[in-house]
Each structure stands twice: as structure tokens, then as C-alpha cells.
Amino acid sequence: MTPWEELRGAAPPALLRGRPLADAEEVLVLTYTCDLSFFEDVCLREAQAVRARTTVLYDAGQLTQGPRRTDYLAVPVVCKAGGAFHPKLVVIASETDAVVAIGSGNATPSGWHHNAEVWTLLRGTGPTVPHLFHDLAAWLRRLPAAVWMDSLGRERLDRVAELLIARPADPAPGQPVLVTTAARPIIEQLPVPKAPVTALAVAAPFFDAEAEALRRLTGRFDPAELRLLLTRDVQCDPDALAGVVKRAQTGLVATPKGSRYHHAKIVEWRTADQSWALTGSANCSVAALVRTMATGGNCELGLVTGTPGLLIDAVPSEEVDLAHPARLHVRVPGERRDSDPILRVLGIRVSAERVEATVLADGNQAPMWLLVDGLRLDHDRNDGRLYVYAGIPAPDWSLVSRGAATVHVVTDTGAEIRDVVVTDVPAALSRIDRPSPLEHTPLPLVIADQAHLAALFEALAHLASVRPDRMVTPPGTNRRRQVEGRVAAAVGPALLRFALGVDVESRATPTDEEIFDGPDEETGEASPAERREERAPRNASTTRTETVGTVLDALTPGQRTRMRREVEALVDAAEEWPLPAKLAVSRLILTLVAGGLWTDATDWSEVLYWVMVHLWIAEHEETLDDEHAALATIGLVALRNGLDRQPEPAGNLVEQFEELRQAYAGRTGWLAAVPTDTVRRYAAGLNGHVFGILFEQTNFVAELGWILGRTALHDAVDRLTNARLDSGSVVHVKGGRSTRQAVIAALDALRDFSDVHVTSDGEPAVHGWWNGRRLLLVTRFGATWRAEVWSHLMTGIATYSRGTPLRPPDRRWTASGPDEAFRSLTPGS
């Protein structure tokens, strides 16, 4: 059993962070009060990082915060006889290993972080498992008979039970014993020792109004000493408790020092030479200890364990007088009065071809049909008070693909049930083949860690196994959801969101030190965070959010070189990958370029060029058209940005970009139709010192339209001083020692564009053409034009552009105009 002095109230998060099973199949959580958003933040990523399917069962009336994700199973339940669904359990299981934690804390920030709680951890490794695992499996299988829950939840309980009994039970004596309210009251399952009980100790935050459960306990054990440990904000009747304490030979009532809320539930009894403890979910109340589920008691789960001494002895405490209980801030106990609506929707389950809703209702109150996000669900079947409604979604029905984790449901009478939990069934039930490190670590910290980065590259390579072109989509199936489901099953939802341009929202799971940032209520000492701050320099920030840029800035030259090689190898490998993997790689490369992995624009432009080529040759997948076009749009604008930053871009890169530009120009309609929101998602975070501070605010569609409407000649002219290209593809120049020399200099600079027409803006007007061997100049003298041609200039005209006199022309004549002179040299033009 976990020693009390080591409890920090975060057993389940710490357990899942420790990843005791490297390849778990199932994670099951049972809780009374539930905060699903909190669970997603601190535990879901850890569960999915080890490939586990995750299921959370909670009391249907006690959901404090709804979910934000649809890729796990949230199952509200209702006890059939009216009690509270009150167990606190975490199971992590595979066919070869299992971990079971039974405790007192709910899946909320208070229960799993801030309160003082008790958790008992049991591990089942080797050829056998603790006998309790088999007892727990049997209880899980019987549970659906006592609570209302949907069929999907029952299936998960059955699978967890199968894993718990996959190995035989260890028959060794002295193991913890499971106690529940399924068949007998818990109080009757507490063993009474043959020797006299010297002390009975009870710690609980809730007592029934008449203190009947405490009276039953003292009657069962007849202790020489009765000790109560009452937390501040305890719920009880002090007079009723005092009446029980007075009947004991010796009575002592105390409260823990400090102001931390002690939510642990402990019943301990000892003889002269042995001690036992009941821990788990049961408060000292009639509903928890005296009744069964069938007679209106709560659903409770606990352990009876032999202990070396009383656990509560380890709690620093001080005596209190029940006659003057003001220091306890006592709350008056009352009966459980959950609002029990006539109709509860226990969840919306979405699969590729079907949408189901499970409704708990009285027979005469069950609706004929439901409306869910515009989709009508008709009555399909019922089992007692559980009614199932089903419908077939149209291919464009997008509740799950929009990421909606809750939905409002409307009945045939117009009644609205709000915030019903939505589950993407294929995503929730599939096991991730190779979870990316983005499931539990933000991208900057992945990049900062060599092992994480290698794991990300492995996940990207595995993502390449998802080939939409080989998927067969049955009629009526939402293909987008099918593709996303395959990707999520392969590498996890975090890398899927990254590939689709959605903000990953991944941050490292908080540590205990970060969670417990207040003073230690038990000792009064400063918190770990406060101690770190005291040690930090005065002007140092105690918290710093790393970005990709700050991580890359911290690399040594050797680390930077190594990462460049690895990333460039990734780009090469991605050439033949299918579109989903190429989307993820393309976004990653853009992010690394923007963050400054390459400091020279020539280098990163070369890498971006190949990324854009790979996007161009990627197979078409209509459901990912928007993402494909958005990344192509941003990438082409970024690549053009890289060329503009080079005073003299390499000729081969200029030619390659021109070919790429012409290729994409053939798909201007596809690029122009990309939704603005999709482009903005991918562009988020790409501004900075590489692409420019305003890059993220660029109108990418308009910018790309301008780029695709240009040619390589436009770019070459832009790099000239005092030059412009008119709408008729004539280059106008001005400046220089003479108009003739300015024209020759421009022709030499544009020598890659054979016979481009260059003219001077100054007087006398000069027009020129150069094709690498022949130079034609046409100069206006008054009302006439003089044409001159030089042939066989095999060494070029560079020297003449710098002022060296031209030799006499090979031919000179009077022309009617510049164009006529050029046509006379190019027959058929």
C-alpha cells in the first residue's frame, strides 16, 4: 500500500506518466465526479502513447466538464436502484501485463491532483496475477446488470475483464481482498479478528446524517479506542458523531493540520499484533457501507489489506472538540438528490456508416426519433429502459470531422438535451500502430530531443503506409472520416492534426511539482516552484515557452549540421509517399525553415523546391484537396521568398522554379479555390526572421496568383537596376553612360532569354536583341531608324556593356522601325 506520507494526490497521472506497460491494450477509468477535459490534458495522451484504447465510466449526473476530443470512450452510467456510481479505479492492461489502482480520488483536478487521497497499486507480471484481478474481472462483468450503460461500454468492460484473467490467479495468502456493494454490504465483508480490537480508526470526508454507518462499525469491532480523522469541510452531524464517540471506552477526534482537503476514505482496525485497513471509494455512510446496490446503496469499490500499523498515524493532526466544531467548517449531510431527468442521452456513437444514440427513458417517455446535428435517428431497439436510435449519415455529414466532442440533441417533441458526449467509434476502438511523440510532447520539445525526433521520423515513415488510393469506400460512407480514421489508427490523432494543419495543442503532461504549486499544507514548506524561483536569478523568467525557433537557435553547429542531413534525407524518402504523409512532412519542413534550421536562403530554397515537387507529383485525394492546395500555396510563396532573398540565385534553381511555376500554373483554379481558413491554419507560426515578420499575414492566394502570372523573365528583370517589363514583354531600361550602353548591359544580363527585346527610355532611343551570337541594335536618328547587326560574337557582349567599343557592324541599313528590322533577320517571324 502507498505510504500516507508519500501521497501527493496524483496517483493516476503519475501512474500513466510512468507508462508501466510499454504496449497496453486497454486503459479503464471508473470515477464518480468526472472532468473529461482535465482527463484529456493529463492522462489521455499518455494512454494513447502506449497504444491503449481508453474508456472512462462516470456517474451520468456528475460530469463537471465535457470533452474536447472524440477519440476515446466516455461512458456515463446510472445505477438502476438509484445509488451513486462511486468507484475510483484505474486499470492498465495487456495480455501479458496489468496494473490495477484502486483509490479514493475522482478524475478531477481536485481528486487526482490537489486533495489528499489514498491509492493502492497492484501489478500483475509473470505467469500469475494477484487473485484480486480475477475478482475484479468478475465484478466488471456483473456491473452492467446493476447500472444502465450503452452496449459499447459493456464491450469494453468485457475486454478488460478478459485481459485481467488471461493468466491464472496466484493462490498465495495475505493478498489484498476486493470488496464491493454488488452482493453484500461492505461492512459485512470486513473480517472481525478473534483477538480483541484495540483501536478502530475512521477517516472520511462524508458521514451519513445519523452516523449510522459509524455506529455499525463500532458495534462490529467493539474497539477499546475509537479515533476519527475529520477533514476540514467534513460533511457530518457533529452531535451524532459525538454520540457514537462517547460510547467507546476511549474516543479521540482530530483533524489534519493545514488546510488541504483530505478526501481519503479509510477504516482501520487493529489488535495487539495485527492491523487491517479498508481503503477505496466508500465513505462512512449507510449508502456506502451498509447497503448493496440492489437496495439503493452506492456502487463502491474497496480493498481490505493487512498493514503494519494505522495509516492515519502518519498524518500530522490536532485534536478537535465535536461540541465546538467551528474549526472544521462542517457541512450538513443530506440525501443524494441528483436531478433524475425523465430522459437521458447517454452518448452519440459515430462510425463510418452509422450513427447511434443511447437513451435512458421510461417506456411512455421514450421519443420516436432524435435529431443530431441535422441527422434524424429513428428508434432501432430497446433493452428495458435503454433505447437505441440509429441513422445513416450522408457523406458530407461532418460532426466528427469538425472535431465536435459534444452536441445538442433534439427529440420529436422539440425538447433539447444539451452537451451530449460524441464518440468517433473507429478512432476510439482502434489501437495506434506507432504513436508519434506529438501525443505527449509539443513539437519544439520533440525537435529538441534526438530520441523524440527519431521517433517522429519513424512515425512519418509509418504514416506512409496509409494509402488512400488503395482504400475502398462503401457507398454512403464519409470518405474523409475513413481516411482520417486510418491515419489516426496508424500514428495517433496528434500527428493527424499536424498533417491537417490543425493546432496540435500538445504540451508536456504537468509534473507533480508543477501541479502542487502552492505551499505544502502538511509541512508549511515552500512549494517546489517557489524554491526554484528563489534559486533563479532575479531577472530570469521562471517559465519559458519554447518555440521551434528558440530550440533551433540553441543547437550547436554540429547538431545543426546533423539535423539538416536527417531532414534532407526525410525529404528524399518522402518522394514516393502518399499524400497524408507528404502533408505532414511538408508542414514540418516549412516549420523548420521558418524556425531557422538553415541560415542561408540558397540552402533552404533548395529543400523547399523538392518539397513542392513532391506535393506536385502526389496522388490526388479529393477529401484532402483543401490541405493539399493550401500547403502548395504557402510553399510556393515561401520558395519565391527564398529566391528573392538571394542577390544572385543559382541558375539551375531559377530554371527549376520556372518549370515548377509553369506546372502549378496549369492548376490555378484548384489553387485559387483553397479555403482561406485552411491556409491560415498552415501559415500560423511561420512568420519571423526567415520568411519575414508579416509572412503569416500574407494574402497567400492573391500572392500566388501574382507569382503564377509572372515568368522567369519578370524575375530576371526585377533583379536589374532601373529596368521594367511592360505588358508586351519589352524590357525598358534607363541610366548608364549612354542609352546604347544601357541596352547592351541589359541584354547581357538577360542573356538566358534569347532575343528578348530591350529598349531605352532615354534619348536617343535604342532597341536591341541578342541571341548569344548575333547582336542587333536599332537607333533612332531624327525621323529615321538605323539598324546595325554584329554576327559571330562568340565571346559574348559583356565587355561591350562595360564600355569597350564595338567593332564595325557586319551590316548597316535604314529600317522603317525596330520591329521591322528584327523581323528582317528572323524569317518567318
The residue written with cell numbers 497567400 in the block is: 700
Mark out the alpha helices in 331-404 (DSSP H runs).
Answer: none
The answer to whether 16 and 121 have CB atoms below 8 angstroms apart is no
**Dihedral of the CA atoms 380, 381, 387, 393 (nearest 10)?**
-20
Lowest-confidence pick of 68-77, 504-513, 591-600: 504-513
Nine-digit cell string for 308: 503494519
Residue 297 has pLDDT above 50, yes or no: yes
Distance separating alpha carbons of residues 320 and 273, to the nearest angstrom: 29
Lowest-confidence pick of 177-191, 199-213, 493-507: 493-507
Residue 542 has pLDDT above 70, yes or no: no
Residue 139 has pLDDT above 70, yes or no: yes
Distance separating alpha carbons of residues 164 and 376, to the nearest angstrom: 40
Pairing of strands 26-31, 89-93: antiparallel
- In 697-823, which ranges are E strands? 723-725, 730-733, 757-760, 766-770, 775-781, 784-790, 811-815
pLDDT per residue as tens digits for the range 655-678: 898 899 889 988 989 999 999 999
Residue 184 has pLDDT above 90, yes or no: yes
Rounded to the nearest 10 degrees, the angle between the axes of helix 450-463 and helix 579-595 is 150
What is the pTM for the complete model shown? 0.73
Lowest-confidence pick of 1-15, 352-366, 495-509, 796-810: 1-15
Distance separating alpha carbons of residues 756 and 771, to the nearest angstrom: 8
**Dihedral of the CA atoms 609, 610, 611, 615 (nearest 10)?**
100
Strand, helix or coil at 758?
strand
If residue 638 lies in a helix (H) or strand (E), which one and from where to where? helix 625-644
Q: What percent of the chain has pLDDT over 70?
A: 93
Lowest-confidence pick of 188-192, 378-382, 725-729: 725-729
Cα–Cα distances in Å, from 631 out to 614, 636, 657, 681, 737? 11, 8, 16, 10, 47
Confidence band, pLDDT 50/70/90 cuts, at residue 515? very low
Question: Measuring CA to CA, which residue among 304, 296, 261 is closest to residue 7?
Answer: 261
Distance separating alpha carbons of residues 256 and 315, to the nearest angstrom: 6
Distance separating alpha carbons of residues 549 and 101, to the nearest angstrom: 41
Residue 391 phi/psi, 5-degree rounding, is -155, 160
Confidence band, pLDDT 50/70/90 cuts, at residue 473? confident
Question: What's the pLDDT score for residue 493?
Answer: 83
Residue 50 has pLDDT above 60, yes or no: yes
Mark out the alpha helices in 396-517 (DSSP H runs).
Answer: 425-429, 443-448, 450-463, 479-491, 493-499, 512-515
For residues 274-313, b (16+ Cβ closer than 10 Å) or e, as one string? ebbbbbbbbbbbbbbbbbbbeeebbbbbbbbbeeeebbbe
Question: What's the pLDDT score for residue 540?
Answer: 36
pLDDT per residue as tens digits for the range 787-819: 999 999 988 999 998 888 999 999 999 999 999
* CA 44 from centre of chain: 9
Peptide bond into 764 cis (omega under 30): yes
Output DSSP code: residue 415. -
The answer to whether 407 and 373 have CB atoms below 8 angstroms apart is yes
Question: What's the pLDDT score for residue 518?
Answer: 41
The residue type found at 667 is R
The phi-psi region of residue 403 (left if phi > 0; otherwise alpha if psi is between -120 and 50; otherwise beta) is left
Residue 541 has pLDDT above 50, yes or no: no
Residue 136 has pLDDT above 90, yes or no: yes
Distance separating alpha carbons of residues 190 and 277, to the nearest angstrom: 9
The answer to whether 428 and 72 have CB atoms below 8 angstroms apart is yes
pLDDT per residue as tens digits for the range 685-700: 898 889 988 898 899 9
If residue 58 lies in a helix (H) or strand (E), which one and from where to where? strand 53-59
Residue 478 phi/psi, 5-degree rounding, is -75, 105
Pairwise pLDDT comparison (15 vs 198), residue with the higher score: 198
**Total Cβ atoms within 10 A of residue 556:** 8
For residues 685-710, b (16+ Cβ closer than 10 Å) or e, as one string? bbbbebbbeebbebebbebbbebbeb
Question: What's the pLDDT score for residue 286?
Answer: 97
Question: Measuring CA to CA, which residue among 76, 55, 63, 59 is closest to residue 346?
Answer: 76
The residue written with cell numbers 411512455 in the block is: 364
Mark out the alpha helices in 280-338 (DSSP H runs).
Answer: none
Long-range contacts of 453-456 (CB under 8 A, 24+ apart): 453/563, 453/566, 456/495
Confidence band, pLDDT 50/70/90 cuts, at residue 506? very low
The phi-psi region of residue 418 (left if phi > 0; otherwise alpha if psi is between -120 and 50; otherwise beta) is beta
